[in-house]
Structure 1
Amino acid sequence: MNDDARTPAEEVGVLLKEAQSLLHQRMDERLRPLGLSVPQYACLQALRDSPGITGSELARRVFVSRQSMNVLLQGLAGRGLVERSEQPGPRRERATVLTSAAAGLLDEARGAVAGVAGTMTDGLPADDVARLRALLAACRDALAGAPSTADGRP
């Protein structure tokens, strides 16, 4: 085998990364006119999906560090989109909730993001979309269950 040739599994990884990058770019293009970034949208959506979620879990769902999440939440609070409790809760984390102002914006943003996802899958038959969803979930689950080491190898 040529050292430069990728295995089929490596090709899948490259295609996933390329698709993820383009998905993020297109979402950003659609969210920017609404005054939102992709992480801000993801944060608002996670707060809607899981009221009372901890800051640590919120950061994990949005794929940012806890420190970045705190900055992100401060910005959203400054815009009146979230409210943060003045009193720290368990583990000194402050509860965060959506405001009524965030609800309408989030509905509009969700429609924009759904449009991007639709563009991504419109050319695929419904059965293929369902199969792709199942396959990607299986890949995610395999990686989630795989032990990792400090050198990055499983």
Structure 2
Amino acid sequence: MSQNGDAIDLDKSLGYLLKEASSALRAAMEEVLRPLRMTITHYSCLELLAQRPGLSNSELARGAFVTRQSMNVLLRTLERDGYVTRPAEAPVGKVLPARLTPRGRESLEKASKAVRSVEVRMLAGLTEAERSDALRILRSMIHSLRDDNDGA
């Protein structure tokens, strides 16, 4: 119900539709990553490390939208399985910067192709101009919500 007591038309609620799109995207990504024995968080972690080697557990957790504790468990598993490497001791402070191994890069390459196929499928019905508009509009929404949140 809206504030004035009227029912919200979910088909016209941008927030609801964004959540539905997010859920559909997540399900499609999980589907293509599952045969690679990878989760979305696992993929996100590898992608972040490929783009910014040496990120800390906290930075990876923020980038993958998970808790530090969850990321720490994942990093230990990825390290044990040979996908990432971290120094035995922190070079500075307590931070153990993580880096991809060759095995991690190879795994990421396969996962990136799979995830890209989902994005291509998701955007198939849009023109190039509509894709550009969608990116611009989504960035604007994120910016507006973060600005409002910062001022609270």
Check whether TM > 0.5. Answer: yes
Structure 1 or 2: larger strand share?
A: 1
Structure 2 residue 120 is matched with structure 1 residue 123: no
Structure 2 residue 104 is matched with structure 1 residue 102: yes
Structure 2 residue 53 is matched with structure 1 residue 33: no
Partner of 2:147: 145
Alignment counterpart, residue 7 of structure 2, candidates 1, 4, 7: 4
- Amino acid across the alignment from 1:124: L
- Amino acid across the alignment from 1:16: L
- Amino acid across the alignment from 2:24: L
Q: TM-score, normalised by structure 1?
A: 0.89
- Superposition RMSD on alpha carbons, in Å? 2.0
Partner of 1:60: 62
Partner of 2:86: 84
Partner of 2:75: 73
- Amino acid across the alignment from 2:131: V
CA distance in 2, matches of 1:142, 1:99: 38
CA distance in 1, matches of 2:137, 2:104: 34
| 1:81, distance to aligned residue in structure 2 (A) | 0.3
| 1:79, distance to aligned residue in structure 2 (A) | 1.3
Q: TM-score, normalised by structure 2?
A: 0.91
Q: Which runs of 5+ in 1 are unaligned?
A: none
- Matched residues, number: 149
| 1:57, distance to aligned residue in structure 2 (A) | 1.2
| 1:145, distance to aligned residue in structure 2 (A) | 1.4
CA distance in 2, matches of 1:73, 1:53: 11
CA distance in 1, matches of 2:112, 2:8: 40
Q: Which runs of 5+ in 2 are unaligned?
A: none
Structure 1 segments of 4+ aligned residues over 4 angstroms from their partners: none
